[in-house]
Structure 1
C-alpha cells in the first residue's frame, strides 16, 4: 500500500470519526475534546472567588450549586434578595461551603452607578475576584412591529450596557493582578438570529462583538481570559420572564421545556470551558448546534432555513405554544 493511499484512508477515517462525534455532540467539537481530554473543573477552579450575576434562577442558580461543590467562594447577585438567600441556603445544604464562603450581594445591572460600590464590597469581603460570570439578562418574545422601543432600550441597558459596566469595574482589579476570567453567558442567538427576539439577538450580538474586541485589547495580559458562552435552549425561566410588547409585560409562563437541554448539563459544560480557558463555546443539542455551524460556513442556506422556521415559530407563539417545541421535540436528546 502506497503512502499516499494510507494517508488518504487516515484522512477519511478522521473525517468519519469527527462526523460521528458531531452527530452525538451537545457542544462544539473543541468543547467536546476538552470534556474528554482537558482539565477538570475539580482541579482548576478550587479556592477561587467567583461572582455570578443572575444567580437567583436558571443557569446562574445551577452554576452556584455546582460551584459550591468545588470549594470556591461565591458572590451571588441578582435583584431578588429572597431568591438569592434561597440559593445560598441550598448551596450550604448540598455543597462544601460554610456561611462565610457565600456573599449575597443584591445588584441591578441597569443601575450602573451601583456597580463600583458592589465591586468594592466583593473585594472587601474576599480580597480578590478570580472569575466574573456575567449571566444576568432577559429575553424577548414579540414581533418588532408590535413592540415599544422602550423594550429595545431595556434589553440593551440590561443585557449589554449593564454587563459592560460591571466588567469595567472588575477588570482593573484583574489587570492589577494580571490574572482572572471574565465569563459571559451569551447565546446562540448572539451568533444567529430568530424571529420574535430581534432585540434580544441584537443585545447578544453586541456582547459578542464587545468581548471579542476587549480580548484583543488584553493581549499584554495572557493571564486574563475572556470567554463567550453561547447556549442554545436550556431549561430555565428565560421564556417566562421574557419581555413582550411592553416593558412591564412578560410572557408569564414557561411553556413545554422538555425538549431543551437540562440546566445541569449546560452548567457542567460551562465549568469545563472555564477550566480550560476556552475563548468561545457553543452548548446546544441538535438541530440548534448544526444551525450554528451552518451559519458560519453556509450562511445563505442558514438564512433560508431560518425564514422557513421563523414562520412556524411565530405561528406556534401566537397559538400559545412554546415557539420551538412542536418541531424540535422529535430531535430532543436526554442528558443525565
Structure 2
C-alpha cells in the first residue's frame, strides 16, 4: 500500500470519527473537545467572585447551585428577592459556602440608572468581580403582525441594553485589574432565527454582534475574556414567562418541555466553556445543533428548512402545544 493511499484512508477514518462524534454531540466540537481534554471547572473557577443575573430561576438558578459547589463567592441578582433568597438557602444546603459568601442583590436590568450603584455594592462586599454572567432576559412567543411595538422595546431594553449597561459598569474594574471573564448567556436564536420570536431573536443577534465587537476592542487586555454562550432549548421557565402580544401578557402554560436538554447538563457545559475561556459555544441537542451548523455554512438551505418547519411551529403554538415538541420530541436525548 502506497503512502498516499494510507494517508487518504487515515483522513477518511478521521472524517468518519468526527461525523460520529458530531451525531452524538450536544455541543459544538470545540466545546466537546474541551469537555474531553480541557481544563476542569473544579480547577479553574475556585476562589472567584461570580455575579449571576437572572439567578432566580432556570439556567441562572442552576448555575448558582453548581458554582456553590466550586468554592466561589456568589452574587445573585434578579427582581424577585424572595426567589433569590430561596436559591441562596439551597446553595448553602448543597454546597460548602457560608452565608457571608453569597450576596443577594436585587436588580432590574431595565433600570440602567441603578447598575453603577449595584456594582459598587458588590465591590464593597467582595473587593473584586472575577466573572460577570449576563444571564437575565426574557423570551417571546407571538407573531409580529399581532404584537405591540412595546414588546419589542421591552425585549431590547431588557435582553440587550440592560446587559450592555451592566457590563459597562463592571468592565472598568476588570480593566484596572487586567483580568476577568464576561459571560453572555445568548441563544441559538442569536445565530439562526425562527417564527414566534422575532423580537427575542433581534435582541440576541444584537448581543452577539456587540460582544464580538467588544472582544476585539479588548485585544490589549488578554486577561479579560468575552464568552458568548448559545444554548438551544433547555428545561426552564423561559417559555412560561415569555412575553406574547402585549408586555403585560405571558404564555403561562408552556406545554410539554420534557424533550429539552436538562438544565444541569447545559450549565455543566457552560462551566467547561468558562474554565477554558472559549469565545463562543453552542450547547444543544440535535436537530437544533445541526441547524446552527447548517445556518453558518448553507444559509439558503437553512432558510428553506426553517420555512417548512416554521409553519408547523406556528400551528403547534396556536394549538396550545409547545412550539417545537410535536416534531422534535422523537429526537430527544436524555442526560443524567
TM-score by length of 1: 1.00
Deviation of residue 2 (structure 1)?
1.5
- How far did 1:253 drift? 1.7
1:255 Cα deviation after fit = 1.3
| Aligned counterpart, 2:72 | 72
Q: Distance in 1 between matches of 2:214 and 2:58?
A: 27
Shift of residue 254, structure 1, vs aligned partner: 2.4
Pairwise CA distance, 1:298:
0.6
Task: Say whether residues 1:173 and 2:209 are aligned partners.
Answer: no
- CA distance in structure 1 between the aligned counterparts of 2:192 and 2:132, rounded to whole angstroms: 25
- Any unmatched runs of 5+ in structure 1? none
- Measured against aligned partners, the alpha-carbon deviations of 1:58-83 in whole angstroms (never above 9, x if no partner) come to 00000000000000000000000000
Please give the secondary structure, in 2, of the residue aligned with 1:8: helix
The CA deviation at 1:282 is: 0.1
The farther-off stretch of 250-259 and 234-243 is: 250-259
In structure 2, how many angstroms separate the alpha carbons of the residues matched to 1:267 and 1:236? 12
After superposition, the C-alpha distances for 1:180-221 in whole angstroms (9 at most, x for unaligned) are 000000000000000000000000000000000000000000
> Alpha carbon RMSD of aligned pairs, Å?
0.4
2:50 and 2:75 in contact (8 A); partners too: yes
Which string of whole-angstrom CA distances, capped at 9 and with x for unpartnered residues, describes residues 29-48 of structure 1?
A: 00000000000000000000
Work out whether residues 59 and 236 of structure 2, in 8 Å CA contact, stay in contact via their aligned partners in 1.
yes
Size of the aligned set, in residue pairs, is: 336
Residue by residue over 1:259-297, the C-alpha shift from the partner in whole angstroms, topping out at 9 and shown as x without a partner, is 000000000000000000000000000000000000001
The match for 2:196 is: 196
Match of 2:76, SS state, is strand
Three-state SS of the structure 1 residue aligned to 2:106 is: coil
Report the alpha carbon displacement of residue 96 of structure 1 after superposing the two structures with TM: 1.1
Give the whole-Å Cα distance in 1 for the aligned partners of 2:193 and 2:93: 40
Asked if the contact 2:52–2:134 (Cα under 8 Å) also holds between the matched residues in 1, the reply is yes
Aligned counterpart, 1:117: 117
Could you tell me which residue of structure 1 aligns to residue 332 of structure 2? 332
TM-score (norm 2): 1.00
1:7 to partner: Cα distance? 1.0
| 1:120-143 Cα shifts (integer Å, max 9, x gaps) | 000000000000000000000000
Q: Which runs of 5+ in 2 are unaligned?
A: none
Match of 1:124, SS state, is helix
Q: Tell me how far 1:173 sits from its aligned partner.
A: 0.3
